[in-house]
């Protein structure tokens, strides 16, 4: 299984909901075993820079690639890119 985690910061705090809405269309893509989009609770004592988290689980590299190749993935990028400042992504096998 592959875990896919993407972290976003907003250019403006007023745009966080727009980022979440733009990312939420990813949940309509059938390839993930699990996909969550959430606002960071910002409860860490050492750092709360991240605004939005995407957490996904995929059965294989092929499923992750199909997810990233889906038209809704491209639509999400189109909606979110103008609103976000930074994007960090990590994938790892479990």
What was the pLDDT predicted at 59?
98
What was the pLDDT predicted at 25?
98
Give dist(CA 63, CA 67) in Å, integer.
Answer: 6
User: Does residue 92 contact residue 1 with C-beta atoms inside 8 Å?
Assistant: no
What was the pLDDT predicted at 21?
98
Annotate 21-47 with DSSP letters as a single string. Answer: HHHHGGGG-S--SEEEEEE-----SS-
What was the pLDDT predicted at 82?
98
Mean pLDDT by 10 residues, the chain (94 residues): 98 97 98 98 93 98 98 98 98 98
């Amino acid at each position: 299984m592959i875990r896919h985690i993407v972290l976003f910061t907003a250019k403006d705090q007023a745009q966080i909901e727009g980022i979440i809405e733009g990312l939420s269309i990813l949940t309509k893509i059938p390839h993930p075993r699990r996909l969550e989009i959430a606002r960071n609770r910002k409860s860490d004592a050492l750092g709360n820079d991240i605004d939005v988290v995407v957490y996904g689980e995929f059965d294989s590299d092929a499923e992750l690639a199909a997810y990233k190749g889906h038209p809704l993935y491209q639509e999400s990028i189109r909606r979110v890119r103008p609103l976000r400042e930074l994007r960090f992504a990590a994938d790892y096998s479990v």
